[in-house]
């Protein structure tokens, strides 16, 4: 029951956000830039120099300042890709609040969340605006090490 209610809410959110993103398409891979695949089924946990990572491919994405990225959920589950601000390593417990479920932000330095990304859908386009190491993760599966890193240089 609770799950069903939640699913309806997230579907409503997803359709809302699809209409409010400055005309940039938000579904089916139409977003621009370097694609980070979101799939906890296929991308098994692996070590990185930043710690264990699962669910994102690649687990560490290196991109140039001035370019763009986006996330595409190819899984059959809902995920998020949400920045963990102001950290130099992955926090041990989940750093996220319910705000992660709403799409927000369009650059790395200002913070972002894909919002609840339904199966098959893509995030907004995110500008790589400032060099740095950016940690992010999934609201739903942080405890399963669904985490990744973007290195902007
Ligand atoms: Cu997830």
Q: List pLDDT tens digits, range 81-91.
A: 999 999 999 99
Ligand 1 center to 77 CA (angstroms): 7
Measured in Å, residue 14 CA sits from the centre of ligand 1 at 16
CA–centroid distance, 46 to ligand 1, in Å, is 16
Task: Give residue 151's pLDDT.
Answer: 98
The pLDDT tens digits of the residues spanning 25-81 come to: 444 444 679 999 999 999 999 999 999 999 999 999 999 999 999 999 999 999 999
CA angle 149, 108, 62 (to 5 degrees): 40
pLDDT of residue 98: 97
Instruction: Return the pLDDT at 153.
Output: 97
Cα 20 to Cα 113: distance, rounded to the nearest angstrom: 15
* Contacts of 44 by beta carbon, 8 Å cutoff, 6+ apart: 54
Distance 113 CA to ligand 1 centre (A): 13
Instruction: Write the CATH number of the domain with boundaries 2-152.
Output: 2.60.40.420
The pLDDT of residue 24 is 41
Residue 18 has pLDDT above 90, yes or no: no
């Amino acid at each position: 029951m609770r799950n069903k209610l939640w699913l309806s809410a997230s579907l409503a959110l997803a359709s809302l956000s699809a209409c409010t993103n400055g005309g940039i398409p938000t579904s089916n891979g139409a977003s621009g830039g370097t694609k980070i695949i979101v799939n906890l089924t296929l991308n098994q946990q692996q070590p990185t120099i930043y710690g264990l990572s699962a669910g994102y491919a690649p687990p560490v994405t290196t991109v140039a300042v001035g370019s763009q990225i986006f996330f595409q959920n190819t899984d059959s589950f809902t995920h998020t890709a949400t920045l963990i601000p102001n950290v130099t390593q992955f926090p041990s417990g989940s750093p996220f609040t319910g705000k992660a479920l709403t799409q927000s932000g369009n650059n790395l330095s200002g913070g972002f969340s894909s919002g609840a990304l339904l199966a098959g859908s893509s995030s907004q386009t995110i500008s790589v605006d400032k060099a740095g190491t950016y940690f992010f993760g999934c609201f739903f599966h942080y405890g399963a090490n669904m985490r990744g890193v973007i290195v902007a240089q």
